[in-house]
Structure 1
């Protein structure tokens, strides 16, 4: 009876694991398409919670997955946990392709990694210069490659003209969308 209940529990955890992987893919694409910074922060928090839950489920599956009898060596207390979990039956039951098992790595990891490396490199250069006695400024603010750090100087008339051009462009794009929708 315990073997049957363990098998049902593994089936349940495996189904949850696959559903959480689908949720991860959906949230990751939602995060990438989100423009609003406040919503991106909230989606990122949920995305990290989903990744944590996926890891918990994977550990449960590894811990309680029945080991193939050929892997048990005679004289050993028991086999080591095996990282591979067979999802074939669950994929067939849920009518999912094998691609559903692919774990997507969120793109924001790469973005944050680049920013962290840039900040780290600046800090190392500053510490190295400090140690060698050179005098450099420590600028830890992330900057875009090729971006100048000084402020652009413009008169009020130039600034107003720039804003007016941007507003006219925005209005033209909005009008074009309305006309396109009316034409359809």
Structure 2
């Protein structure tokens, strides 16, 4: 995405954060004693802060403006701290570390995957030297204790150019064969669907013709019976 897109995301995240802070201040003023209501409120704030954190992390990773990066980093650290505070409050409220957010996610139209908290990329970038140092120390300890696993070196056997060309040709022909088979399968399925549609259409036409024929026969029979009844009534009326 372009820099303008991340700037837009940054402004949208700012607005969402300001709105969330206003809602938090309002709910703090309104003290509640209902435990279920309090948990719903904390869980909603937690989910929204996680979404803000994910957006801020992406923005901080992509924006190159130094002043903006300093500001975003401070806000990002604050949001991470607030996420931890809300998590701690929910744990103290329910006395458990696992919480069910199904109904809240459904109300917010979010997927469970959107609750995943990724490791910020700058953690790894800034701590890269520290991580490498730890790996060296660990490797040295394993080497001193004799627990290190020697790396297996695999030898690559060279092949003649003609054999390599043949292998490439075989792989390419196999790929083309798979594509051709897939193409023929699609054609077969299209023809099969067209045939089935035609058969069903003919059945529908035949059924319609049968209905019309039955209607004609029934109407003729009904009219003959009606005419015969009228004739009998007329003969009775005439005294014949």
TM-score by length of 1: 0.52
Alpha-carbon separation, structure 2, partners of 1:105 and 1:50:
14
Query: Residue in 2 aligned with 1:69?
Result: none
**What is the aligned counterpart of 1:101 among 102, 106, 115?**
115
Shift of 1:15: 0.4
| 1:9 maps onto 2:42 in alignment | no
**What is the aligned counterpart of 1:38 among 48, 67, 75?**
67
Shift of 1:40: 1.1
Alpha-carbon separation, structure 2, partners of 1:40 and 1:119:
27
TM-score by length of 2: 0.40
Q: Secondary structure at the match of 1:103?
A: coil
| 1:85 maps onto 2:99 in alignment | yes
Alpha-carbon separation, structure 2, partners of 1:7 and 1:116:
44
Query: Residue in 2 aligned with 1:62?
Result: 91
CA deviations on 1:87-116 (whole Å, 9 max, x unpaired) are 111111222111121112110000111134
CA deviations on 1:104-148 (whole Å, 9 max, x unpaired) are 211000011113446889xxxxxxxxxxxxxxxxxxxxxxxxxxx
Query: Residue in 1 aligned with 2:54?
Result: 25
RMSD: 2.3
Query: Residue in 2 aligned with 1:52?
Result: 81
Which structure shows the higher helix fraction?
2
Residues 1:45 and 1:119: Cα distance change in structure 2 (over 3 Å): farther
Q: Which one scores higher on RCO, CA 8 angstroms, separation ≥ 6?
A: 1
Residues 1:16 and 1:30: Cα distance change in structure 2 (over 3 Å): same
Q: Hey, which bits of structure 1, 4+ residues long, moved more than 2 A?
A: 115-121
